[in-house]
C-alpha cells in the first residue's frame, strides 16, 4: 500500500510525478473526469482545518469519490473508541483511504504498524508534517517560476511549531531549492538548522525568490511575549516597507490561516505579488494527484 505520511518519504521522481499529475488535473478541470466513481474515502480531522479539509473534499469529489466526513464530537471516538478501531470500522464499510489530521504523529505511526487495510494520507500532524501543503507550495513555485531547482526560499516565522516548514524543507531540498529559515530567536529550531541556515529576516528578504511567511501558532505558545502582536509585526512581519526591499520578481507565500497585521500586513495578503490565494486553488489539483497515487486502479481516462 502507498501511504503519504511526509515528503521525507518521497523521491524526487515521485514528487515530479505528483506535480505533473497536478498540472494534468488543473488543465482538465473543466472536463468531468471521474476515475474513482463509486469508491469511498473518509476525512478524519481531529484538529481544526478549513483549507486542507475542504480542499481534500473538493479534490475527492472531482475524482468521483464518495466522501465520508467524520465528526469527532458526533462519533464513537467521543465514547472512547480508538482511531485504529474507528478506521478499521470504516474499512469494513468499504472505505479505501483515510485522510487524517491529528495532533499526535504517533497515532498515525500506530495505524501504519497495525495495518488498517486502507491507505493513510496525512493532512497535518502536530508540528511534524504537512506533506500536501508542501507539495502544493512546490507546485505553486513551479507554476510561477517554471522550475524549483535553484530557487532561494526564505521560510519566516514560528519555525519551531511549523509542520509546513518541516515538510517544505524536505521536499524543497530534494528539488534543488535553497532554503533559509528566519524569524524570532525564540521560535528557532536547532534541529532544522542542521538542514537549512538561520538568517536574519532582513538579510533573507533581500535574496529570496520566495518569502514564505508562517503564522504564529498562538494556540501552541504558553509565553505571553508572543501576544505582543504589534511588536511582532514591526520586528518580524512582512510590511509594505519590507516588500519594497524584496528582490524584483520575488513572490510572497503563506500556507494560511494568516494573522493579518501580525506576520503579514493586511494590504499584502491580496497584493499582486502574493500567491496566497493561488496556493489554495492549487491545493485541489495537488490533492487530486496525491489521492490518485495512493488509491491506484482508477478507470482509464
Ligand atoms: N494551511 C492549512 O493547513 O490550513 P488549514 O489548517 O485551514 O487546513
Which element (helix H / strand E) includes 66?
strand 66-70
Question: What pLDDT shows up at residue 218?
Answer: 66
Which of 103, 124, 215 best tests ligand 1's pocket when mutated (most atoms within 8 Å of CB)? 124
For residues 142 and 269, state if they share a domain.
yes
Q: How many domains does the chain have?
A: 2
**Alpha carbon of 292 to ligand 1 centroid (Å):** 21
Strand partners, 153: 179, 210
Name the burial class of residue 170, with classes exposed (0-12), middle (13-18) and buried (19+) by CB atoms within 10 angstroms of its CB.
Answer: buried
Strand 66-70 to strand 40-45: parallel, antiparallel, or no bridges (unpaired)?
parallel
**Alpha carbon of 256 to ligand 1 centroid (Å):** 6
Q: With both helix axes pointing from N to C terminus, report the angle between 276-295 and 131-145 in degrees, rounded to the nearest 10.
A: 120
CA angle 258-261-263, nearest 5°? 55
Grid coordinates of 231: 511588536
For residues 43 and 125, state if they share a domain.
yes
Question: What pLDDT shows up at residue 297?
Answer: 85
For residues 119 and 209, state if they share a domain.
no
Report the alpha-carbon distance of residue 204 to residue 227 in Å, rounded: 24
**Alpha carbon of 238 to ligand 1 centroid (Å):** 20
Question: What pLDDT shows up at residue 223?
Answer: 63
Identify whether 48 is part of a domain.
yes
Question: What pLDDT shows up at residue 102?
Answer: 96
Contact 101/124 with Cβ under 8 angstroms? Answer: yes
pLDDT mean for each 10 residues of the chain (301 residues)? 94 98 97 96 96 98 96 83 94 98 94 95 97 98 98 97 97 98 94 97 97 82 65 93 97 96 96 98 98 91 80
For residues 147 and 241, state if they share a domain.
yes
Residues recorded for the chain: 301
Ligand 1 atom nearest the C-alpha of 124 is 3
Lining residues, ligand 1, CB within 6 Å: 49-53, 124, 133, 255-257
Model-level pTM? 0.95
Give the residue numbers spanning the domain of 125.
7-129+282-295
For residues 180 and 225, state if they share a domain.
yes
The complex's ipTM?
0.98
Q: What is the DSSP letter of 260?
A: B
Backbone angles phi, psi at 170, to 5 degrees: -65, -45
For residues 85 and 218, state if they share a domain.
no
For residues 29 and 74, state if they share a domain.
yes
Identify whether 300 is part of a domain.
no
Amino acid at each position: 500500500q502507498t501511504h503519504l505520511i511526509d515528503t521525507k518519504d518521497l523521491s524526487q521522481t515521485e514528487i515530479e510525478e505528483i506535480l505533473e499529475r497536478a498540472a494534468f488535473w488543473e488543465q482538465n478541470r473543466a472536463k468531468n473526469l471521474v476515475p474513482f466513481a463509486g469508491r469511498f474515502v473518509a476525512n478524519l480531522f481531529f484538529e481544526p482545518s478549513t483549507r486542507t479539509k475542504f480542499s481534500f473534499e473538493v479534490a475527492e469529489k472531482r475524482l468521483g469519490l464518495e466522501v465520508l466526513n467524520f465528526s469527532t464530537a458526533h462519533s464513537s471516538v467521543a465514547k472512547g473508541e480508538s482511531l485504529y478501531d474507528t478506521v478499521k470500522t470504516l474499512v469494513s464499510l468499504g472505505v479505501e483511504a483515510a485522510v487524517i489530521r491529528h495532533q499526535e504523529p504517533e497515532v498515525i505511526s500506530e495505524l501504519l504498524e497495525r495495518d488498517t487495510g486502507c491507505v493513510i494520507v496525512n493532512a497535518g500532524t502536530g508540528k511534524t508534517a504537512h506533506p500536501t501543503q508542501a507539495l502544493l507550495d512546490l507546485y505553486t513555485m513551479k507554476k510561477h517560476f517554471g522550475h524549483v531547482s535553484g530557487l532561494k526560499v526564505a521560510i519566516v516565522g514560528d519555525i519551531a511549531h511549523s509542520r509546513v516548514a518541516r515538510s517544505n524543507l524536505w521536499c524543497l531540498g530534494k528539488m534543488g531549492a535553497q532554503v533559509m529559515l528566519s524569524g524570532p530567536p525564540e521560535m528557532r529550531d536547532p534541529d532544522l538548522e542542521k538542514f537549512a541556515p538561520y538568517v536574519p529576516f532582513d538579510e533573507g528578504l533581500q535574496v529570496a525568490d520566495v518569502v514564505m511567511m508562517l503564522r504564529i501558532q498562538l494556540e501552541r505558545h504558553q509565553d505571553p511575549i508572543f501576544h505582543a502582536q504589534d511588536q511582532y509585526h514591526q520586528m518580524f512581519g512582512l510590511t509594505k516597507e519590507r516588500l519594497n526591499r524584496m528582490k524584483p520578481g520575488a513572490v510572497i507565500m503563506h500556507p494560511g490561516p494568516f494573522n493579518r497585521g501580525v506576520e503579514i500586513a493586511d494590504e499584502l495578503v491580496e497584493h499582486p505579488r502574493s500567491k496566497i490565494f493561488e496556493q489554495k486553488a492549487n491545493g485541489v489539483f495537488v490533492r487530486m494527484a496525491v489521492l490518485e497515487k495512493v488509491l491506484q486502479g482508477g478507470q482509464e481516462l
